Amino acid sequence: MLDWTDRHCRFFLRLISQHAVLYTEMITTGAILHGDTERHLAMNASEHPVALQLGGSDPRDLAAACKLAEKYAYAEINLNCGCPSDRVQNGMFGAIMMKNAEITANCISSMVEASSLPITVKHRIGVDDYDSYDFLCQFVGTVAEAGCNTFLVHARKAWLKGLSPKQNREVPELNYERVYQLKKDFPNIEIVINGGITTLDDSVTHLHKIDGVMMGREAYTNPYLLSDVDNRIYGSKTAVKTRADIAEQFLQYVDNEMSKGVRLHAMTRHILGLFHGMPGARQFRRHISEHAYKPTSTIDVLTTALQATSRETST
């Protein structure tokens, strides 16, 4: 979710679910070590629990980034070994790391030594022509021996050449059975499944066979599907918030952030799907898309969009 799940997005999603673990966008070790560390790692306390997702392949840099992350109270630190984009490949991290389990294991070992937080790995079921089940087992087994006890598995392989990142989320066939088999062969390792999961019903079905479910694009474009996660998955008895309640709470957050100089568009771009499938959803998206990006935009853009939605819902 590079460039998507920033701190504004995570605050918004946390308003919908109090218990789901949220992941940062992938942040490179270079950005943390040589850029604005505070901007990349700081978050609102209400976002917890949050996992920090790192991109990198140098054990020393990953260890240093883990040490810097310690004071920000992340729930876990995740090493991305699944992203197939060209810019990630050029940095020799992401999905290409699956081709050398030993390098990945060295990275995990350094991260485990540097941090008291759980260290996890997100990866594919294969990459390019390295797509046999034996290859997947060898990768997981080698990395597990280095100290990783949780694997988040996107149930598609990745093609590093010939497919765009978007195509890599759609063209390679899903193979959930391979992930289920991985859990059977590694019963003491936590296996979380990812890829093509769009409903809580699907999630519950998967949870009969593995330990966890990760949602990406669907949760972003249709975020209100998370509204029942706390009750159905985590057993909470808390009343489900309405879309209007969520919008009003986010409105207060936007007002506070704008007083600090944050642009309106940086926040409202994450909430376009809040009214997905509801009357007035199109007008809501259109008004925000047409006005929030302007340098002179004020919070009135959001309040007007919400008013339009309220009128549609009440008619």
Closest CA to 82 of 151, 20, 176: 151
Provide DSSP, 261-291.
Answer: T--HHHHHTT-TTTTTTSTTHHHHHHHHHHH
The pLDDT of residue 308 is above 90 = no
Q: Active-site residue 81, yes or no?
A: no
Among residues of the chain, what percentage have pLDDT more than 90?
Answer: 85
pLDDT tier for residue 315 given thresholds of 50, 70 and 90: very low
H or E stretch at 81: strand 76-81
Q: Model-level pTM greater than 0.95? A: no
Residue owning tokens 């070790």:
29
Active-site residue (options: 9, 83, 107, 148): 83
Supply the mean pLDDT for the chain: 93
What are the chain's domains? 7-232 (3.20.20.70), 243-314 (1.20.120.1460)
Structure confidence by residue, pLDDT tens digits, 272-283 = 999 999 988 999
Provide DSSP, 11-23.
Answer: HHHHHH-SSSPEE
